[in-house]
């Protein structure tokens, strides 16, 4: 029963990915290629269920890779600890992963190092409408970051309203100079 359920799940997943790919999804498996999974008594191995390759993921506007960068940045960072507290504004200017004298960021060295190690942290991929996030509240903190990192424009917002947003906040915490109880 579990094997038949798994096979059905794989077929639905492949069909769903194919339907979402640009250009209509490419070739469709022939009835003979899918008939082996329709029967619970089929004995084909999981690797030979279909001859149709998985579609490539669609390109995204945000950088898809993370990893070391040049460490150059000019950023304006605004962190609002809560609606009743004034916003904290910082300037972060990094050259080759080292803060310059223009920086007013309270932990500029840690922030520049974080940006050099992963410049894409400030440009997360857009969250899909079907992405499940824990419904936990991390606090009222909000932040915006605008500027340029390694010649790439940045205009990002962060908050702690659910598990996904908390994860993004925590990934960028060195840059956000977490304040107001948010760490």
Q: Is-contact 157 143, C-beta < 8 A?
A: yes
Q: Is-contact 109 93, C-beta < 8 A?
A: no
Q: Are residues 85 and 163 in the same domain?
A: yes
CA atoms of 92 and 74, how far apart (whole Å): 6
Q: Cβ-count burial of 52 within 10 angstroms (0-12 exposed, 13-18 middle, 19+ buried)? A: middle
Tell whether the model's pLDDT for residue 25 goes beyond 90.
no
Q: Per residue in 70-129, pLDDT tens?
A: 989 999 999 999 999 999 999 999 999 999 999 999 999 999 999 999 999 998 777 777
Choose between 129 and 151: higher pLDDT: 151
Tell whether the model's pLDDT for residue 20 goes beyond 90.
no
β-pair type (88-95, 73-80): antiparallel
Band (130; pLDDT cuts 50, 70, 90): confident
Number of domains in the chain: 2
Residue 61 lies in a domain: no
Tell whether the model's pLDDT for residue 1 goes beyond 70.
no
CATH number of the domain bearing residue 156:
3.30.350.10
Q: Are residues 114 and 26 in the same domain?
A: no
How large is the average pLDDT for residues 134-154? 93
Q: Distance between terminal CA atoms of the chain?
A: 46
Choose between 115 and 42: higher pLDDT: 115
Q: Are residues 87 and 39 in the same domain?
A: no
Task: For CA atoms 20, 22, 24, 29, give the dihedral sign.
Answer: negative
- The order of strands in the sheet holding 152-159 is 98-99, 88-95, 73-80, 142-149, 152-159
How large is the average pLDDT for residues 130-135? 86
Determine what percent of the chain is predicted with pLDDT higher than 90: 48
Range of the domain at 22: 2-48
Residue 54 lies in a domain: no
The answer to whether the predicted template modeling score (pTM) of the entire model surpasses 0.75 is no
How large is the average pLDDT for residues 15-23? 47
Band (38; pLDDT cuts 50, 70, 90): very low
What secondary structure, in 3-state letters, does the chain show?
CHHHHHHHHHHHHHHHHHHHCHHHHCCCCCHHHHHHHHCCCCCCCHHHCCCCCCCCCCCCCCCCCCCCCCCCEEEEEEEECCCCCCCEEEEEEEECCEECCCCCCCCHHHHHHHHHHCHHHHCCCCCCCCCCCCCCCCCCCEEEEEEEECCEEEEEEEECCCHHHHHHHHHCHHHHCCCCCCC
């Amino acid at each position: 029963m579990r094997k038949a359920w798994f096979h059905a799940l794989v077929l639905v997943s492949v069909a769903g990915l194919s339907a979402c790919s640009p250009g209509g999804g490419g070739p469709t498996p022939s009835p003979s290629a899918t008939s082996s999974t329709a029967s619970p008594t089929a004995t084909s191995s999981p690797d030979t269920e279909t001859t149709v390759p998985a579609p490539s993921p669609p390109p995204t506007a945000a950088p898809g890779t993370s990893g070391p960068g040049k460490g150059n940045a000019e950023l304006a960072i605004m962190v609002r600890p809560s609606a009743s507290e004034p916003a904290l504004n910082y300037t972060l200017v990094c050259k080759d992963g080292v803060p310059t004298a223009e920086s007013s960021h309270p932990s500029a060295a840690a922030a520049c190092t974080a940006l050099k190690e992963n410049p894409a942290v400030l440009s997360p991929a857009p969250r899909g409408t079907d992405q499940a996030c824990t419904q936990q509240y991390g606090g009222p903190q909000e932040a915006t970051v605008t500027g340029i990192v390694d010649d790439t424009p940045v205009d990002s917002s962060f908050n702690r309203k659910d598990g996904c947003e908390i994860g993004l906040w925590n990934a960028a915490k060195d840059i956000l100079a977490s304040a107001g109880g948010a760490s």
